[in-house]
Amino acid sequence: MRSWLNKLSDTCQCCAQDKDAKRPEERRRCCAKGECCRQILSKRSVNDARTILRSALTNAMVEERISKNVAQLVKVQRARRKRPEPWSVEEACSFLQNAQLWHDYLYCAYALILVLGLRKGEVLGLTWSDVNLETGELHIRHQLQRVRRRLLHTDTAKTEASEAVLPLPDICLTALRLRQKEQQAAKERAEDLWTESDMVFTTRYGTPVEPRNFTREFDRRCERAGVRRIRVHDTRHTCASLLAALDVHPRIAMQILRHSEIAVTMEVYTHVPSADTRRALRKLGKALGGSKQKKEGKEKKGKRKQQKQVKEQAAKDGQQEA
């Protein structure tokens, strides 16, 4: 048993599973060409393999097929869980600013995963029926995943947390309204080639965005923005800091972060970023077309100006008659 574990931890999985050999000859790049890539398993994966084997042997003991579980006798070193190194608020701000500057069609998706902490499958599976732009609320009901070469749009796990209604901060609300306009413009350009669906994030022909393509686009945006390349899933750890930087009310942040006590949220809010970063994030939302309050303010200002012009004209008419 110990020999098997030692061999497993030192075996290149590319060689063992013929990964490179299964590729077309022109695309082979490592083990099939005699240059081993040393794709060995991590300690955690080796321990998981031992755990699965131990469980199987335990079932065999219950069924009286074997008399001893040899996997249970072998002690293994506990693998350390790697702590993610998420972006700082400044890095997240630079990333969003670059995406907005280049008019990235996935800008809204980036804002949702960073500000609301949505997973990749949740944001790609989002439908317009899950979004209420009038009340500023979002439901997490669907997810998009590729399973066994099939792209599946399924319901999320029916848990209390998954069915929570998330309030939309201004930056997300504005980004979703912009996304709605962009999608309508793409539909008009595609004409008969457009595939009708209720999906929020689609390609230029209306088809769902492939999860792998989303990851590739995310990595390219990291490079263009000049920020550290991290996993899409690790962006969830920046969510709390961004909410504090955006001056989101602690009660709303508590609902988004799904904390059970306001004290936990307030502890996060004590670590706020610099004033420059906070201003940059607020400007980011306004640059996309302005918030609803800003729009209403402009309308009121226009009405006051029009009323003033009417009064001035009436006064001039009165003077002429006199």
- CA distance to 95, 124, 148, per residue, from 199 (Å): 24, 8, 22
CA 261/CA 255 separation, integer angstroms: 10
Over residues 285-304, the mean pLDDT reads 50
**pLDDT at position 270:** 54
Residue 42 host element (H or E): none
Instruction: Report pLDDT for 133.
Output: 94
Question: What H or E segment, with its residue span, contains residue 151?
Answer: strand 150-155
Structure tokens at 132: 């209420």
- What would you report as the CA-atom Rg of the chain, rounded to the nearest whole angstrom? 27
With H, G, I as helix, E, B as strand and everything else as coil, classify residue 133: coil
The per-residue pLDDT for range 115-125, each reduced to its tens digit, is 998 989 999 99
pLDDT band for 90, please (50, 70, 90 cuts): confident
3-class state of residue 202 by DSSP = strand
Say which range, 13-17, 85-89, 317-321, has the weakest mean pLDDT: 317-321
Average pLDDT of the chain to the nearest whole number: 83
Model pTM?
A: 0.69
Start and end residues for every CATH 1.10.443.10 domain found in the chain: 89-294
Highest mean pLDDT among 91-95, 253-257, 299-303: 91-95
Among the listed residues 156, 288, 186, 109, the one whose alpha carbon sits nearest the alpha carbon of residue 197: 186
In the three-class reduction of DSSP (H, G, I as helix; E, B as strand; rest coil), residue 229 is classed as coil
Q: What is the DSSP letter of 288?
A: T
- Rounded CA-CA distance 143/121 in Å is 5
Which DSSP letter does residue 167 get? E
More confident residue, 171 or 241: 171
Helix (H, G, I), strand (E, B) or coil at 174: helix
Q: Where are the alpha helices (DSSP H) in 139-249?
A: 170-190, 211-225, 239-245
- How far is it, in rounded angstroms, from Cα 84 to Cα 82? 6
Band (pLDDT 50/70/90 cuts) for residue 306 is low
Quick one: fold of 89-294? hpI Integrase; Chain A (1.10.443)
- What single letter denotes the amino acid at residue 107? Y
What pLDDT does 281 receive? Answer: 65
